[in-house]
Amino acid sequence: MPITITVDEETGIAVGTGSGELTLDEMKAAARDLWNTSGFGRKCVLWDVRRSLFNATPSEVRELADFARTGSRLEPGARMAFVAGGDLEFGLIRMFEVFREDDKVETYVFRDLEQAWAWLREAADCH
């Protein structure tokens, strides 16, 4: 799978690391894998997709946001950070962020990995 999921034991932050071209189905599968990852406290997620290319249309981005909102097992108040490498990916993730604005999960897209980690660590408790 183009996205691997790990959990940082120290912080409790789940990290999804992507590589290569990602399709809508692969992104949905990664979300399902995240939701079923043991040891994940369901509060903080970092999607590191700097080495990924998205093969998604705006309507697919909306579909992914709807899928994530309705199927998510993240707790209310959880934080989800994305780190994008390219302008297209940044823009598509920004669309995803906007489509999820009314969700109970805070979503934000970054270009810098350390800024994303810092934002997640601001959360009261990721465990």
CATH number (domain holding residue 45)? 3.30.750.24
pLDDT band, very low/low/confident/very high, at 76 (cuts 50, 70, 90): confident
Asked whether residue 67 is domain-assigned, the answer is yes
Number of domains in the chain: 1
Lowest-pLDDT range of 67-71, 87-91, 99-103, 115-119: 99-103
How far the first Cα of the chain sits from its last, in Å, is 26
Sequence-distant (6+) residues with CB within 8 A of 43 are: 12, 74, 75, 77, 78, 79, 123, 125, 126, 127
Query: Quick check: is 127 in a domain?
Result: no
Tell me the per-residue pLDDT of 64-73, one tens digit each, with 9 for 90 and over.
999 988 888 8
Residue 36's domain comprises 3-121
pLDDT digits (tens, 9 = 90+) for 30-60: 999 998 888 787 889 999 999 999 878 999 9
For 44, list phi and psi in degrees, rounded to 5. Answer: -140, 130
